[in-house]
Amino acid sequence: MSARFLPGAALIAGAFSIISLGCGGQPPAPQPASAERPEEVRARECTSLVTVINISAEQINGLGDAGTAFTDSQLAAIASALETAAARTQTLTLTDRALQQRAAEYKEMAGRYAANVRVIIAARQANDLPRWEAATVAAQAAGESEDRIIASINAFCSAP
């Protein structure tokens, strides 16, 4: 099977955007909540979530340019980055219900996205075009929901 079997695979990495807040590295360690004001807690928790998402996005964006087909190993790395982000999101201590909901939406989307990428790999290896097409459509839908979720996180975290 040709490594170029995925004409739409560029959408997988291209649709995965970096959140506008935070920076790379590991999520910051939680600080004692007793001395923090509510806005400080919110800022810290937002930074933790954004950092987890940004790490994953940077890993995915480093795998290739949008508009190119990805190899199976690149797709597997994309799925792994998404799975890691979903797992890290679940370990965050978030006290704000609205942020918890956004984190849960992101975790669910990342898991769905990763699962579909893994189906794309398997379908490509089996030369199963109908299965590949269905998984590609599902991955693209996950990418579209990712855009909405990230916009929601950005709006929440940048609001006064």
pLDDT profile of the chain (160 residues), mean per 10: 35 43 51 73 95 94 80 95 96 95 97 97 97 95 92 93
Burial of 6 (0-12, 13-18, 19+ CB in 10 A): buried
For the chain, domains (ranges, CATH) are 10-17+36-158 (1.20.120)
Model-level pTM? 0.77
Distance CA 108, CA 122 (A): 21
| 116 and 145 Cβ atoms separated by less than 8 Å | no
pLDDT of residue 16: 46
The 3-state DSSP class for residue 120 equals: helix
Of 87, 82, 69, the closest CA to residue 117 belongs to 82
pLDDT of residue 31: 54
Cα-flanking dihedrals φ and ψ of residue 73, to 5°?
A: -70, -35
pLDDT of residue 133: 97
Instruction: Give the alpha-carbon dihedral of 127, 113, 88, 60, to 10 degrees.
Output: 70
For the residues of 129-152, what is the DSSP string, one character each?
Answer: HHHHHHHHHHHHHHHHHHHHHHHH
| 22 and 54 Cβ atoms separated by less than 8 Å | yes
pLDDT of residue 123: 97
pLDDT of residue 2: 34
pLDDT of residue 34: 60
pLDDT of residue 20: 42
pLDDT of residue 66: 65
